């Protein structure tokens, strides 16, 4: 139990640091009143704007007011539209998630089998071919691949709609473009995990017991190799969301990513802060859930955590006795 409390406490502290970073980093980028109204605006108009949005208060006081608002799920109002920043973000998130989740599924469906096959044929042609594909997938920027795909399949061939959402076919190019990095990542990590597991003594014991290679791969190697993919998925979710910010602008999707780019350009700090905090908090909570799920999937990890907590409790009690 102590381990879970510590992990939860670390997650809360990380989220608080994320909030502070998002607030002070944007505050240091310039005065929103001057940026939004323009340098030629009169000082009286700038003062009115600052007073309206609370920018005339000391920075520490603005931060405390902002924290109090976050406790009530109030991320402030958009400088441009005057609407709730949280509402603007929540209206765009479903479209972004509709890109991210199919991307994760496609990345796992292609990358994991590719990594398994590569590890099972280590050193052969198919292994080298898979490694080359992974390197290419990680080397080519997703936005460049998106532009090339749009030029080929929309401009030249006319098979797919180039911009915006028309029907389900509009998902093909954005999802495939986003999946290239994910497929390469899953293939590399799956291959490395399988190679590491296949080198363990338990695999030699299984072979000596007469098990076939197919049973060894499916029953002994694969379950142990797939465990780290839980963490990879939690980390890749944040990467896919960040890549979506660019891909949405390439393909004209009105998701949270395009809203972030537009808000940064317009210096709409409340919306930018809302997107950064929501995205970062989602990644932190996802990593926390991934860590917690390890104990449910692998009993050995759960027993190790219990033993560690028990040793810590014994050490603390002995320390109090000595004092």
Backbone φ, ψ for residue 84 (5° rounding): -65, 130
Between 30 and 92, whose confidence is greater? Answer: 92
Where residue 4 falls among pLDDT bands split at 50, 70, 90? low
Tell me, what DSSP letter sits at residue 82? -
The tally of domains found in the chain comes to 1
Can you state the angle between helices 269-297 and 229-251, rounded to 10 degrees?
150
pLDDT tens per residue across span 218-228:
777 777 777 77
Contacts of 268 (CB under 8 A, 6+ apart): 78, 79, 80, 262
Range of the domain at 98: 92-255
pLDDT above 90 covers what percent of the chain?
0
Look at residue 175 and tell me if it is in a domain: yes
Q: Cβ(111)–Cβ(190) under 8 Å?
A: yes
154 pLDDT higher than 60? yes
Q: What is the pTM of this model?
A: 0.75
Q: For the chain, report the end-to-end CA distance as a whole number of angstroms.
A: 26
* Per-residue pLDDT, 305: 53
Look at residue 305 and tell me if it is in a domain: no
Mean per-residue pLDDT, 56-76? 80
319 pLDDT higher than 60? no
Look at residue 263 and tell me if it is in a domain: no
Look at residue 172 and tell me if it is in a domain: yes
Look at residue 267 and tell me if it is in a domain: no
Look at residue 307 and tell me if it is in a domain: no
Look at residue 214 and tell me if it is in a domain: yes
Look at residue 299 and tell me if it is in a domain: no
CA angle 306, 307, 308 (to 5 degrees): 90
- What CATH number is attached to the domain comprising 139? 1.10.3720.10
């Amino acid at each position: 139990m102590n381990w879970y409390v510590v992990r939860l406490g670390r997650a809360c502290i990380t989220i608080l640091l994320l909030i502070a970073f998002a607030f002070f980093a944007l505050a240091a980028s310039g005065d929103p009143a001057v940026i939004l109204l323009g340098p030629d605006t009169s000082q009286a108009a700038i003062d009115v704007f600052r007073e309206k949005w609370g920018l005339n208060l000391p920075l520490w006081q603005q931060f405390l007011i902002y924290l109090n608002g976050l406790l009530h799920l109030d991320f402030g109002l958009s400088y441009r539209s005057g609407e709730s920043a949280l509402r603007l973000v929540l209206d765009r998130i479903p479209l972004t998630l509709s890109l991210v989740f199919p991307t994760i599924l496609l990345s796992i469906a292609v990358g994991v089998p590719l990594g398994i096959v590569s590890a099972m044929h280590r050193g052969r042609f198919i292994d080298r071919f898979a490694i080359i594909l992974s390197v290419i997938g990680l080397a080519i920027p997703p936005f460049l691949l998106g532009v090339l795909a749009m030029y080929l399949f929309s401009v030249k061939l006319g098979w797919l709609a180039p911009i915006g959402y028309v029907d389900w076919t509009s998902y093909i190019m954005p999802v495939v473009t986003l999946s290239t990095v994910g497929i390469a990542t899953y293939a590399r990590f799956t291959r490395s995990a399988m190679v590491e597991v296949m080198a363990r003594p338990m695999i030699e014991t299984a072979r000596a017991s007469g098990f076939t290679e197919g049973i060894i791969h499916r029953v002994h190697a694969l379950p142990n190799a797939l465990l780290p993919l839980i963490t990879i998925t939690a980390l890749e979710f944040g990467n896919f969301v960040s890549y979506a910010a660019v891909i949405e602008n390439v393909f004209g999707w009105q998701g949270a990513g395009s809203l972030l780019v537009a808000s940064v350009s317009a210096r709409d700090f409340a919306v930018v802060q809302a997107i950064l905090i929501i995205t970062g908090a989602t990644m932190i909570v996802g990593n926390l859930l991934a860590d917690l799920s390890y104990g449910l999937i692998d009993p050995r990890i759960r027993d190790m955590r219990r033993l560690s907590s028990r040793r810590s409790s014994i050490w603390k009690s002995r320390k109090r006795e000595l004092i």
